[in-house]
């Protein structure tokens, strides 16, 4: 799941330290780049980590599927309330194509977005897909009506869901298929058993989970390999911090949904305003940069229905933070 920035962001300035023209020129050639000044180590929760964040702008899902770490969430390209077609279909297609131009090669979606609309728009805009382009879709949540999200983890439903996504996305195999939510009425092992069958049949390359606990991840990994987890997480809401730490330890990709707080904004927004000004950035760009610096397994998927917002989101990857900057932002968010 991904959520759009609040409307207030529209009037905030872009980065001053990296001009939009310079940034866009760079990303069109090489994809989004993350800079880290004055340090060669990750300085998130585990300061003993020794990967070089200045060069680790990519992550390999399952160890063999490389993606740029700042992706795109395709939930908000649908209609209001994540229901039906967008009011401006051509604009939605422009957003998807612009994301690829800016270096995005990981797009997250789900059959529940629309429902089905998001997947159909992705195929309309981008098929045949660029080489190395990874679509991460999800199944297991149904939409019986506007505003309704109902889990359905029955094996027969999930098999049908995979087949439906393959058809809508015009794929022979889905690179990353995620269980959207655990159905309390169905044993997790039964749900994942169905996905394992589809994986064994060559219709899914890798499997991920969404909205899960550590205990559920452990159970899932006894059924089949898990390469990623998608839970709500941002600088102002770290209730799933322990899950992120587990993913770091086990080398699982962590895709934070609502990376900048969604329509409600960040709980820590006021406390971060001054820090954002110091960096010539918006609060939301600072929040995305904080996530990218937090962990090498972090794969933010901010979503939007606006090309301008998309470009601002991607510019966050070029925001420079020193270790001291990161710790200051971390402390400000914690006090807010």
Report helix angle 188-200 to 155-169, nearest 10. Answer: 40
User: Prior bond to 128 cis, omega within 30?
Assistant: yes
Least Cα distance to 310 among 138, 91, 86 occurs for 91
String of b and e for 81-118 (b: at least 16 CB within 10 Å)? Answer: ebbeebeeeeebbbbbebbbebbbbbbbbbbbbbbbbb
The reply to whether 113 belongs to the active site is yes
Q: Is the dihedral of CA 75, 239, 323, 299 positive or negative?
A: negative
Structure tokens at 214: 């550590």
Identify the bridge partners of residue 142 per DSSP, sorted by sequence position. Answer: 150
Residue 83 in 3-state DSSP?
A: strand
Longest dimension (CA), the chain: 53
Structure tokens at 149: 């999200």
Catalytic residues: 113
């Amino acid at each position: 799941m991904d959520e759009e920035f609040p409307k207030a962001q529209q009037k905030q300035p872009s980065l001053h330290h990296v001009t939009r023209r310079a940034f866009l020129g760079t990303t069109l050639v090489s994809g989004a780049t993350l800079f880290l000044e004055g340090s060669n180590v990750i300085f998130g929760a585990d300061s003993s980590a020794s990967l070089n964040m200045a060069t680790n702008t990519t992550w390999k899902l399952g160890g063999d599927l490389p993606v740029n770490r700042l992706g795109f969430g395709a939930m908000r390209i649908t209609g209001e309330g994540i229901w039906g077609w967008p009011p401006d279909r051509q604009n939605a297609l422009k957003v998807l194509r612009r994301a690829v131009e800016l270096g995005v090669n990981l797009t997250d979606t789900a059959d529940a977005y629309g429902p089905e609309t998001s997947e159909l728009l992705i195929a309309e805009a981008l098929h045949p897909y660029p080489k190395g382009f990874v679509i991460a879709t999800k199944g297991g949540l149904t939409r019986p009506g506007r505003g309704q999200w109902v889990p359905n983890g029955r094996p027969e439903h999930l098999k049908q869901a995979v087949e439906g996504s393959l058809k809508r996305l015009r794929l022979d195999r889905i690179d990353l298929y995620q269980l959207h939510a655990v159905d309390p009425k169905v044993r997790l092992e039964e749900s994942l058993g169905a996905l394992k069958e589809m994986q064994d049949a060559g219709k899914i390359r890798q499997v991920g989970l969404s909205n899960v606990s550590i205990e559920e991840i452990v159970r899932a990994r006894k059924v089949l390999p898990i390469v990623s987890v998608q839970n709500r997480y941002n600088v102002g809401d770290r209730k799933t911090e322990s899950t992120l730490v587990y993913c770091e330890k086990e080398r699982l990709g962590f895709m934070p949904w609502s990376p900048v707080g969604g329509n409600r904004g960040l709980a820590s927004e006021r406390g971060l305003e001054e820090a954002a000004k110091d960096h010539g950035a918006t609060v939301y760009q600072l929040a995305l940069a904080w996530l990218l610096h937090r962990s090498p397994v972090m794969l933010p998927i901010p979503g939007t229905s606006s090309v301008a917002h998309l470009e601002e989101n991607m510019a966050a990857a070029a925001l420079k933070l020193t270790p001291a900057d990161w710790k200051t932002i971390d402390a400000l968010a914690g006090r807010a």
